[in-house]
Amino acid sequence: MTEMTDAPGWPAPHPGAAPMPRRIAAQAGLELRTLVRNGEQLLLTLIIPVLLLVVFSSEALISTGKGSRIGFIAPGVLALAIMSTSFTSLAIGTAFERRYGVLKRLGATPLSRSGLIWAKAASVLVVEAGQVVVIVVISLLLGWHPVVSVTSVISVIAALIIGSAAFSGLAMLMAGTLRAEATLAAANLVYLVLLGVGGVVFPLTKFPAAARPVLLLLPSGALSDALRSVLRYGAGLPGKDLLVLAVWAVAAIALAARTFRWE
């Protein structure tokens, strides 16, 4: 009797793992589907930033200095969206995956731990791209007139990528060292604190003069200041803010790589 594998047209089996890019893409797709099905994560990553954008764009609220209110708040909400996805959402999700043994099991599959990290990074970037599009469109409808030039576009892309790396490093550092419940509480607390003092919705000029240089050294302060300086004031490449974000990114990622516990 002829075996089925020898039948005409029957594909010959090719055992083995798929190429790494396909493994990463498959895992990234799973991460995105999980996010879409999670109402709490959607609330954090999209609904809250959009609500803050609409509410705080009102000119009747606290003064933001020269220029329109939406010109101030739109770059801040862009920074908040990056922080929501690459820090708070990533930290909480990763911490509970670690608690339930998901990371340990995935690390033993052909995906590998490095593949898992790349998949998470890819899913974060895709979500952030969607957030940026939504926030920019709504801001334009609310009357935002950003400064658009080659320099501003390059500066914004650089700030968003480096800022995302910084917040992702902090998220992995927190998720890999704290218990899931502690990460949940700490990530939300840090989110609220940075929302209040990070120059996102309240101008840093409202804080004491002695505190402003320190607040600009926070990743949220540096990111919002970088975006605002080029999109609102048309400044050149925000080198100081990008340097601050890069230092946070390198330090957080290096420390997370050394201390992360997969179990």
| pLDDT tens-digit readout, 117-139 | 788 888 888 889 999 999 999 99
Whether 107 has a pLDDT exceeding 80, the answer reads no
Whether 26 has a pLDDT exceeding 90, the answer reads no
Whether 238 has a pLDDT exceeding 90, the answer reads yes
- The gap between the terminal CA atoms of the chain, to the nearest Å, is 51
Per-residue H/E/C for the chain: CCCHHHCCCCCCCCCCCCCHHHHHHHHHHHHHHHHHHCHHHHHHHHHHHHHHHHHHCCCCCCCCCCCCHHHHHHHHHHHHHHHHHHHHHHHHHHHHHHHCCHHHHHHCCCCHHHHHHHHHHHHHHHHHHHHHHHHHHHHHHCCCCCCCCHHHHHHHHHHHHHHHHHHHHHHHHHHHHCCHHHHHHHHHHHHHHHHHHCCCCCCHHHCCCCCHHHHCCCHHHHHHHHHHHHHCCCCCCCHHHHHHHHHHHHHHHHHHHHHCCCC
> pTM of the prediction?
0.85
User: How far apart (Å, rounded) are the C-alpha atoms in residues 138 and 134?
Assistant: 6
Look at residue 2 in the predicted model and tell me its pLDDT.
Answer: 47
In a domain, 88, yes or no: yes
Query: Which structural domain, as residue segments, surrounds residue 165?
Result: 20-57+66-259
- In angstroms, the Cα distances linking 45 to 12, 35, 85 are 45, 10, 6
Q: Choose the weakest-confidence range: 7-16, 95-104, 235-244.
A: 7-16
User: Mind listing the pLDDT tens digit for each residue in 33-88?
Assistant: 877 777 677 777 888 889 889 888 876 555 555 667 899 999 999 999 999 999 99
Q: Are 181 and 92 in contact (CB under 8 A)?
A: no
Look at residue 31 in the predicted model and tell me its pLDDT.
Answer: 78
Look at residue 64 in the predicted model and tell me its pLDDT.
Answer: 58
In a domain, 170, yes or no: yes
In a domain, 4, yes or no: no
In a domain, 193, yes or no: yes
In a domain, 8, yes or no: no
User: How far apart (Å, rounded) are the C-alpha atoms in residues 221 and 225?
Assistant: 6
Q: Are 35 and 42 in contact (CB under 8 A)?
A: yes
Q: Choose the weakest-confidence range: 8-12, 217-221, 227-231.
A: 8-12
> For the chain, what is the mean pLDDT?
85
Whether 249 has a pLDDT exceeding 90, the answer reads yes
In a domain, 13, yes or no: no
Look at residue 1 in the predicted model and tell me its pLDDT.
Answer: 46
Local confidence band at 91 (pLDDT 50, 70, 90 cut-offs)? very high
In a domain, 14, yes or no: no
Whether 114 has a pLDDT exceeding 60, the answer reads yes
**What percent of the chain has pLDDT above 70?**
87
112 vs 31, more confident: 31
User: How far apart (Å, rounded) are the C-alpha atoms in residues 157 and 170?
Assistant: 20
Look at residue 115 in the predicted model and tell me its pLDDT.
Answer: 76
CB atoms within 10 A of CB 259: 11
Q: Report the number of distinct structural domains present in the chain.
A: 1
Whether 7 has a pLDDT exceeding 60, the answer reads no
In a domain, 230, yes or no: yes
Q: Are 195 and 212 in contact (CB under 8 A)?
A: no
